Amino acid sequence: MRKLTLSSSFERLVVPAALGVALACAAPLARAQSGHDGAASSATAAGGAQMPSPGAPQMALTASASMDVRPDTVLITLNAEVDAPDQPAAGRKLSAALDDLVKRAGGVDQVKVRTEGFNVWPVNNDKGKIGGWRGQGSIVLESTQFEAASALAAKLSDKSAISNIAFRLSRKAHDDAERKLLNDAAESFRQRAVAAASAFGFSGYRIVKLDLGGGGGSVVPVPRAMMAMAKGGGAAPPTEVPLRPDTITVSVDVSGTIALQ
């Protein structure tokens, strides 16, 4: 579901790398009908803007468009923990445990596997002295195939614990959503510029500066209730990890300065 929100306050926004190419496409949105010789106003983006005629009033405008998108990528973190009498032994055991997890996770084409975190620390006994060492490390399963990631996580949970599940948009899904929203945000900006020019008795406008921005698509953690289900609540390892992501809001913002004419 798409929704549009408008604001008359101007906030300068940084142009994201994914939207850099959109400036060339946004220029035509500024063409408003003009009463002078039936010609349309010219639209110029920031960096190549024509200077308004002396005395031409300027106005800052913003428009935005947003939509809720279902995440297409899951990240499942599994922890391995070891105990040993000394630090070197704890390090060796933890390395072996992580290597075993990575090898067992290999061979599934739809799932990427990486290690994340490697910690070894002393454990004091009841007398306040070091009585042993403990190590903890993690691997992360990342995939756009939820069923494959779920089955693999369940398989590995016999020797590891699922510590985190999160969802996010892949780069392709995020860029696709931004491209769709850019047209909506650009049209909203154009309509607002035309309305502003008309309200103040002008027949058209020209863009002096144009900036694009946006957000959304970041990692969304799973609620605690789902994490408890994923861990099996302390019982036997689950046969399947429940993966039911919520939607992520992606937005595109258009900010600019127009010269009324």
User: Which residue do the tokens 């010269």 mark?
Assistant: 259
Q: How far is residue 30 from each of residues 22, 26, 52, 145, measured CA to CA in Å? A: 14, 8, 14, 42
Q: How far is residue 129 from each of residues 59, 124, 136, measured CA to CA in Å? A: 70, 5, 21
For the chain, list residues with pLDDT below 50: 1-49, 223-226, 228-230, 232-235
Q: For residue range 189-237, what is the model confidence (pLDDT) as tens digits?
A: 999 999 999 999 999 999 999 998 877 666 666 644 445 444 544 445 5
Give Cβ neighbours of residue 255 (< 8 Å, ≥ 6 apart): 10, 11, 12, 13, 60, 61, 62, 210, 211, 212, 213
For 132, the token pair is 């042993």
Q: What is the CA radius of gyration of the chain?
A: 27
CATH architecture of residue range(s) 73-168: 2-Layer Sandwich (3.30)
Residue intervals in the chain for CATH 3.30.70: 73-168
Rounded to two decimals, the pTM is: 0.64
